[in-house]
Structure 1
Amino acid sequence: MSSSGTVHFRHNQAILAAAIIAFIGALPLAGARWYLLPVLLVPLAVGVWAWRAGTDADARELRLRALLGQRRISWDRVVGLAADPRGRAVAQLDDGQLVPLPAVRGRDLPRLVSATGQDLPGTAG
């Protein structure tokens, strides 16, 4: 779902560029022997992760995207947002679980909250 009210957070795209360069650099090695072909999977996986992983937020839910899957969390379950000591954003759920939000920094929390269209109690940033 990519409505205009959705806010997207992604990792720095320099990671994707580095993965492409690493893939091209690994081609001669992988082409030397057939059993070295799996070497290409490492930069390929990093590239797909850099392109796909992150957090999407809209008025209904948070969508946490990873390399191979995603997790949806309704805003009803979120009781607080904060930054951890390293500056990464985390969401506290109603069951007490702390969920790290991929690609969201503490300074991005106001933009994340604006996607909900409302104020969330316990928001820090």
Structure 2
Amino acid sequence: MNLFIDNKSGAPIYEQLYTQIKNQILSGELQPEEAMPSIRGLARDLRISVITTKRAYDELEQEGFLYAVPAKGFFVAAKNTELLREENLKKIEAHLTEAVRLAAPCGLTKQELTEMLELLWEE
């Protein structure tokens, strides 16, 4: 598992961990039932606070991406297809919102933007 902390990003460290781990689960890089590094071990490796690592793991657990086994640690939860679909829908909506925002200053009409999407879809 590759995790990187960017001190210049302005995003809280726990949020960076949360996002990177979540993306690795969604992409399949981290497989269901795979053991996660221990909270202490990950904190030590990344040279961050144990509390920061715990917060990221706790949020991932609350959202159903990880589950905890007492005295064993955290594991990747089996993928909930509805949860994955919802995550992807949010990403698509964000990208389409950005496309609409960029189209307005260019004078693109709704029909022209729709045609562009249809062409991309066919590829």
TM-score range with shorter-chain normalisation?
under 0.3
Compare CA radii of gyration and give the structure with the larger one.
2
> If each structure's helix is expressed as a fraction of its own residues, which one has the higher value?
2
> If each structure's strand is expressed as a fraction of its own residues, which one has the higher value?
1
TM-score, normalised via structure 2 length:
0.27
